[in-house]
Amino acid sequence: MSFFVKGGYDAIRKQVLNISLRRTDKWARGLIFIQDNQYVGSLNPVNENNIEMVKFDDRHALLLNNAIIYEDKKLFTYKLELQCETEPNLNDPNIYDFMSYKNMNYKEMREITMR
């Protein structure tokens, strides 16, 4: 059983959604995909996983724990597929307590440079 979480650029609101996953046993492994289901990274539930979209020179980059895993000139969305060993109880009010979101306006997005 899997469930998906979507992040990245929201063109309607002109906002970016970044996601952080705390250590948990509610999922067993995770995958990160870009718009066209292109695989770009793996997530491990025994680690903190911080997924952040940033400005990078004249491009946009997706960071996983401060390491660039994808970059593109255009803004993009991404999705996390979190795979479970057993079927999760989606009625559990604490099912998402391992996850936090940060929604920000595009203009407030962090900018990094390579030196």
pTM of the model: 0.90
84 phi and psi, to 5 degrees?
A: -110, 150
Residue 8 clears pLDDT 70, i.e. is over it: yes
CB 88 within 8 A of CB 55: no
Asked if residues 30 and 45 have their Cβ atoms less than 8 Å apart, the reply is yes
What confidence tens digit (pLDDT) does each residue in 21-77 have?
A: 999 888 899 999 998 899 999 999 999 999 999 998 889 999 999 999 999 999 999
Name the helix (H) or strand (E) containing 33.
Answer: strand 29-34
Of the candidates 94, 85, 78, the residue with the CA atom closest to the CA atom of residue 38: 78
Closest listed residue to residue 95, CA positions, set 7, 21, 17, 16: 21
Q: Which amino acid is at 92?
A: D
Q: Cβ(7)–Cβ(18) under 8 Å?
A: yes
**Alpha carbon distance 63, 51 (integer Å):** 6
